[in-house]
Structure 1
Amino acid sequence: MACIAKEVETELLPFLRVYKDGYVERLLGSQYVPPLLDDPETGVSSKDITISQDPLIKARVFLPKLDEPHQKLPVLIYYHGGGFCVESAFSSDHHRYLDGLVSQAKVVAVSVEYRMAPEHCLPAAYEDGWAALQWVASHFAENVIDDEPWLTNHGNSERFFLGGDNFDRLYIGGDSARGIIGHNLVMRAGVERLCGGVKILGAYLGNPFFWSSKPIGSEPKGEDFEKNPIRKFWDFVYPSAPGGIDNPMVNPGGDGAPSLAGLTCSRLLVCVAGKDKLRDRGEVELFEVEGEDHCFHFQPEIDPDSENVKKVFKRLVSFLV
């Protein structure tokens, strides 16, 4: 009996194909790797947890090798890259990256696994990111329920209360599309209170996926700009977005977007690559790596020990103090 080829409904190359029967074929993404206690190379331990059952939100938690049993460390909530539709917190690329970062920066990291398009279009990923942020913040409030021991025992500095507020070493961040999750969550935290009044100290946006209907800087003009695949990509991952490509979630400088004065963190680091088409949309403290493309430090053909990869790592490590 002849094999009947399935019909393709949508292609978003090089990321994925969606077939008319609903099957999603993801073409990019590194393979799954399990968590590991006491990595022989870095000494970092990792484990997988469930943050929420409905919706299902999971995470991989990383703990560095401790200098003392009750050591208190900064906390980093990390949102992985992949264009809102591929990759995972449990993939080899992101596990290796977080393992190295946690080892060098001496932080407790929570790498969030959230729902992705097209099965769950935006704003699902933003809502999952917010739920994960609130869950982490709850560990530093009074009367913690369903706590994660690595966070309660080692996360954050000792709590100091002044006028009811506690000052913490809590960071959030991510790369590529997930970099803008970090941006939007910091903005949201300026309007909606985090559990226990916890404050975000800093945010890291690596090669953030910002765009709009109007070109800026070195971006192409006219028809070349209109044909840019980034617009098609955004329409795919968030087809119902009010304002389309000028939605505040992707265009923080557009009409109707909240003022950047509402940023709740006191520190913001934006890292861009010199060849990245999105680089001109970086903001505030800018760190540019010349001669590299978008999220180059995650590309399989790039040597993880190259000088430019080391530059990104060193800058981020120094930021997470």
Structure 2
Amino acid sequence: MASTSTTKKEIASELLPLIRVYKDGTVERLWGSPYVPPCPHDPQTNVSSKDITISHNPTISARLFLPQNQIYQKPQHLLPILVYFHGGGFCFESAFSSDHHRLLNRLVSQAQVLAVSVEYRLAPENPLPNCYQDCWDALQWVSSHRTHKELDANNTKKEPWLVNYGNFDKLYIGGDTMKAGVERLCGDVKILGAFMSHLYFLGSKPIGSEPKVEDFEKWLPCKVWKFLYPSAPGGIDNPMVNPVGAGAPSLAGLGCPRMLVCVSSKDELSDRGVGEAEVFEVEGEEHAFHILSEAETENVKIMLERLASFLV
């Protein structure tokens, strides 16, 4: 009788408690919420959702969210559009994860907007800065719907929810990290506003309550960036993660007249404000509490109300 044995995969590198990379190229994510399917009708929020493909090469997709009442009647007015880039340190979470699906259901219901939650490629399988380019490409794809033609320049059928319900004079972007380039958007669409909730910005010179000197290098947010993008020009002062550092382009380059930064008093990343942006702080909460909380607590409601009031 032949003997059997189990081959244990060898670890190439790991960033605990988040991620483990094996020598065969596979990646194990040790943190994050599970996948959930889209829902034609969420009974708690009265929001419909569906998944669409933005690009096959590279692979970029999205989950769209629309208030249910818009589907079965001719819209009295078009809805503001929110292009949302989910958080997760560039290497975990998803537009299709339960945490972000729940957040977008709540926010779309509260704000009465049409949301496009972008599924960009994750590191380290897709090295940085690929995810930034994916988000820009997704934003351009959304903007391309302004022409209201059935087919785009490549004879690709357009997304009917965007064509029928989206107000391209009220385009917003938001999330934990975001990138909007200096290029013009398709159809000359302008970004009306941008919000950053519990941002992930760093810099080589610790500020505020951030760990000092030798402890800074051991700080998980610092280790994440160096693990995922060790060749980043400028290291931790790269403009992608330090947008106010020396040589970084002005945030005015986002090209929008309004910006809101949301922070929490117990968030260890909250000390890095953004210039003269409007800042909204929730006391007694930690990083991404409004995403991670399954219950719609009083502070979650306060956070959602503030975001909804911004998206008008």
Pairwise CA distance, 1:131: 0.5
C-alpha separation between the residues in 2 aligned to 1:261 and 1:204? 14
For structure 2, list consecutive stretches of 5 or more residues without a partner in the other structure: none
The aligned counterpart of 1:6 is 9
Partner secondary structure for residue 66 of structure 1? helix
Aligned to 1:200: 191
Q: Which moved more, 1:60-69 or 1:144-153?
A: 60-69
Are the structure 2 counterparts of residues 303 and 41 from structure 1 closer, same or farther at C-alpha, using a change threshold of 3 Å? closer
SS in 2 for 1:126: helix
> Aligned partner of 2:12: which letter?
E
Give the deviation of 1:309 after TM superposition.
Answer: 1.2
1:196 to partner: Cα distance? 1.2
Alignment RMSD: 1.6
Question: What is the rounded CA distance, in whole Å, between the counterparts of 2:208 and 2:308 in structure 1?
Answer: 29
- What per-residue deviation string (whole Å, max 9, x for no partner) do you get for residues 294-314 of structure 1? 112223xx4522111111111
Shift of residue 53, structure 1, vs aligned partner: 0.9
Q: How many residues align?
A: 299
Q: Which runs of 5+ in 1 are unaligned?
A: 158-167
Confirm or deny: 8 A CA contact 2:47 2:66 kept in the other structure. yes
Under a length normalisation based on structure 2, what TM-score does the superposition of the two structures give?
A: 0.91
Q: Distance in 2 between matches of 1:235 and 1:169?
A: 36
How far apart, in 2, do the equivalents of 1:193 and 1:34 lie? 34
Report what 2:218 is aligned to. 227
Q: Distance in 2 between matches of 1:256 and 1:141?
A: 37
2:86 is the counterpart of 1:90: no
Instruction: Give, in angstroms, the shift of residue 21 of structure 1.
Output: 1.9
Shift of the 196–152 alpha-carbon distance from structure 1 to 2, 3 Å rule, reads: same
Alignment-derived partner of residue 54 in structure 2: 51
Q: Does 1:78 align with 2:84?
A: yes
Q: What is the CA–CA distance in structure 2 between the aligned matches of 1:242 and 1:223, rounded to whole Å? A: 22
1:118 to 116, 121, 124: 124
Q: CA offsets per residue over residues 36-91 of structure 1, 9 Å max, x none?
A: 11222222111110001110111011111336512310000011111111111111
Query: What is the rounded CA distance, in whole Å, between the counterparts of 1:142 and 1:62 in structure 2?
Result: 19
Identity %: 63
Secondary structure, counterpart of 1:279 in structure 2: coil
Q: Paired residue for 1:292?
A: 285
Aligned ranges 1:20-39 → 2 under 5 Å: 20-39=23-42
Which aligned segments of 4 or more residues in structure 1 are displaced greater than 6 angstroms?
none
What are the Cα deviations for residues 158-206 of structure 1, in whole angstroms up to 9, with x where unaligned?
A: xxxxxxxxxx1000001xxxx222xx31xx1xx2111111100000101
CA distance in 1 between counterparts of 2:289 and 2:206 reads 23
| Structure 1, 244-253 or 232-241: larger mean CA deviation | 232-241
Cα displacement (A) at 1:127: 0.6
* 1:208-251 deviation line (CA, Å, top 9, x unaligned): 10001001122232222233222221022222211111000000
**Which of 219, 233, 237 is the matching residue for 1:242?**
233
Q: Contact 1:59/1:113 (CA < 8 Å) preserved in 2?
A: yes
Q: How far off its partner does 1:142 sit? A: 6.7
Q: What secondary structure does 2:161 align onto?
A: helix
Letter in 2 for 1:111: S
1:315 to 296, 306, 309: 306
